[in-house]
Structure 1
Amino acid sequence: MDSDSDALGITASWVQMESSTAFDYDKSNLLCERNAIFFSTISTTVLYSLVFLLSMVGNSLVLWILVKYENLESLTNIFILNLCLSDLMFSCLLPVLISAQWGWFLGDFFCKLHNLIFCISLYSSIFFLTIMTIHRYLSVVSPISTLGIYTLRHRVLVTTSVWAASILSSIPDAVFHKVIFLNCDYSERHAFLASVYQHNIFFLFSMGIILFCYVQILKTLFRSRSRQRHRTVRLIFTIVVTYFLSWAPYNLILFLKTGIIQQSCEGSQQLDIAMVICRNLAFSHCCFNPVLYVFVGVKFRKHLKCLLQQVWQCRKTTSPAPFSYSPGTFTYDGSSFY
């Protein structure tokens, strides 16, 4: 195992992809990668600790506001709630990633479980963002086609299907991970390559669907004067763009690390440093959405202000009643916290 894996021991599946694994050990890389190791160790500990705190607080506030103030009959609110759960799931793994820099001591079972949860959170985020965009596309471009999707049965079916697909997509990662020299790592190289290709395929396929949907949405909005439509689409568009800008550089460099392009020692070291930067940006995404809701979501800001006033007892406020919901009309988005 190369020096990056020995020094960091970061056990999540996508973190292990960054470094060489047990099947391509090369002692000649030791001195070449030493600077990248030091940079990675310091930045990982500091940044992940901060991201963990911000994400836990921010996403917990979003969940609290959704449950306390909003109408959960809104399919969009259901998507937002599940995105929060996915981000919280990812956030809970950050302390493990920090501690794993000094080796993995929890055994094979927790190694597999850790990577299973890690990948579930990644895939569920991609799937929910894609379906949220498709739902917005149907609501804007063809509102009549969404008349029958607001029942409890359909909300449960959509949510369950996304989580089931995320779990099934994550099982191979869990199966092919085990503890190797105090690192939770891939046991076979073909499993590592398959995991990288699978994630990139999902990522690119989702991006293609989202781009198509937003081109059609923008064409429709240019012919509409509805400010509500513009505000709703703006928030979802911001969430999606932030996600893809956070993860695209990481996925690109991860693909290059599969060995598709031969690198010199200096080039490999530069790629390692770039991987650390892009990985930290991608793993920080779990705390971005609550910030976006504050700056873009008008109703969310009002709810947050009301909640903080209640917590600090600045003044007595009563919880607002849920907004009326009328399936089949575009005004149903009044029930989501934009």
Structure 2
Amino acid sequence: MYSYLENGTEEYDDYYGDDDDNGPCDFNSNHSMEMIIQTYIYVLICVLGLLGNIMVIVTYAFYKKAKSMTDVYLLNVAIADLIFVIALPLIIYNEHNNWHMGTVACKLLRGAYSINLYSSMLLLACISGDRYVAIVQARRSFGIRSRTLVYSRVICLSIWFLAVILSIPTIMFNQRYEERSPGQEEVTFECDFKFTDNDTSTAQLMKVLLPSMQVSVGFFFPLLVMGFCYSCILAILLRAQSFQRHKAVRVVLAVVFVFVACHLPYNVVLLYHTTRLFKVGRECAREKMILMTISVTRSLAYLHCCLNPILYAFIGVKFRNHFQKILVDLWCHGKKDLYTSRSSKHTSELYVSAPYKSREVSNNEHQSSFTM
């Protein structure tokens, strides 16, 4: 996520109190150091997110077909996160080069993250709902979930469509615009939420509505769904006298804890910042501190796209077995390249039989990879 009013000092000077009577508040004073730190963090997120989500997609494409509703949701979460980690390096490049790619790239890249935000969060809520039906309502749902796999695809398409609709204002109102720091002649270009006339009722409404919609639809609604579903799941698991069930309790707690730890700080700060948008006489130092906090907590929220593959895929026993199979096949493929004298039979098994061999990992293909 990103702050809608992170830049644009000329537009909001009237709202800030001047601590030192030295002119308008300069929000770009620590911008260079902030960009350097963010770049290192974002590069780490890109590398981990790219590897993890590609492995999830490869596993579902070649080693394990999506046989349950949760599997379909997991695949779509990986695709959504992959879209973001591909867009993130372009965002970093443009922010370091005055948005050299222009307004179109500004709109598309900001829109790509907005789509990722809504789609991934709502899909995570769907995963918790499916787990609730499978565990808490196990008897009632027996025989039904296997026939509703097609509905999971319809749900996913609906979520993607809703994410695009909710992201249209982000794409429309993000602009590449000229930014001049107070007391400096150097001109830079920013990509941010921008209106031609900030005094119109539409502009003021959007400045509050869009971040509020991000916080409500992109965080609090999924959090409520996950909180209810996983609380019911925990109640069932804690009554079970089974090591595997109690191990699943730790999985549920880890999923909820990581989700809250990654997204709660940013959304609380963004909500607080939104409530102060039109307050007159805000202190410059406090606003700088708020924007710095937004930047730090935003990086923490970005980190969740790297943790999703671990929490929802690799933590499951069956998925780990498929992942180990991928590593074995990659090792065999590397040895085949080094030793070209290997037989064609081995090569055939590597490329043709691998998807079929993985079927031996589990006796039940209709179970979810997110094993509880």
- TM-score, reference length from structure 1: 0.83
1:170 is the counterpart of 2:167: yes
| Structure 1: 5+ residue stretches without partners | 1-13, 327-331
Query: Which residue identity is paired with 1:141?
Result: V
Among residues 323, 333, 348, which one is paired with 1:304 in the alignment? 323
Query: Which residue identity is paired with 1:125?
Result: S
Q: Check the 8 A contact 1:130/1:209 in 2, yes or no.
A: yes
Among residues 158, 161, 181, which one is paired with 2:158 in the alignment? 161
Distance 1:133 1:156 in 2: 16
Per the alignment, in what secondary structure is the counterpart of residue 72 of structure 2? helix
Moved more, 313-322 or 186-195: 313-322
For 2:210, the equivalent position in structure 1 comes to 195
Per the alignment, in what secondary structure is the counterpart of residue 184 of structure 1? strand
Query: Which residue identity is paired with 1:160?
Result: L
Query: Which residue identity is paired with 1:289?
Result: N
Deviations 1:308-334 (A, max 9, x none): 1221127978522164548xxxxx43x
RMSD (CA atoms): 2.8
| Structure 2: 5+ residue stretches without partners | 15-22, 179-188, 196-202, 337-345
Distance 1:243 1:219 in 2: 20
1:66 is the counterpart of 2:72: no
For 2:186, the equivalent position in structure 1 comes to none
Map 1:309-320 → 2, pairs under 5 A: 309-313=328-332, 319-320=357-358
Q: Check the 8 A contact 2:212/2:274 in 1, yes or no.
A: no
Per the alignment, in what secondary structure is the counterpart of residue 179 of structure 1? strand
Query: Which residue identity is paired with 1:24?
Result: Y
Moved more, 243-252 or 307-316: 307-316
Could you tell me how far 1:43 is from its partner in structure 2?
1.2
For 1:5, the equivalent position in structure 2 comes to none
| CA 132–305 in structure 1, closer or farther in 2 if over 3 Å, else same | same
Among residues 228, 239, 258, which one is paired with 1:212 in the alignment? 228
Q: Check the 8 A contact 1:90/1:118 in 2, yes or no.
A: yes
Larger Rg: 2
For 1:55, the equivalent position in structure 2 comes to 49
Deviations 1:110-138 (A, max 9, x none): 33222222111000111001111111111
Map 1:167-316 → 2, pairs under 5 A: 167-181=164-178, 182-186=189-193, 187=195, 188-202=203-217, 203-225=219-241, 234-235=250-251, 238-260=254-276, 263-292=282-311, 296-313=315-332
Could you tell me how far 1:250 is from its partner in structure 2?
0.9
Q: Which stretches of structure 1, 4 residues or more, deviate above 6 A after TM superposition?
A: 314-317
| CA 123–236 in structure 1, closer or farther in 2 if over 3 Å, else same | farther
1:131 is the counterpart of 2:123: no
Q: Check the 8 A contact 1:137/1:213 in 2, yes or no.
A: yes
Q: Check the 8 A contact 2:119/2:160 in 1, yes or no.
A: yes
Query: Which residue identity is paired with 2:83?
Result: M
**Higher percent of residues as helix:** 1
For 1:17, the equivalent position in structure 2 comes to 4
1:29 is the counterpart of 2:25: yes
Distance 1:232 1:71 in 2: 23
For 2:342, the equivalent position in structure 1 comes to none
Q: Check the 8 A contact 2:13/2:24 in 1, yes or no.
A: no
Deviations 1:56-90 (A, max 9, x none): 11211121122233231211111111111111011
Q: Check the 8 A contact 1:18/1:254 in 2, yes or no.
A: no
For 2:104, the equivalent position in structure 1 comes to 109
Moved more, 123-132 or 16-25: 16-25
Residues matched between the structures, number = 317
Moved more, 125-134 or 62-71: 62-71
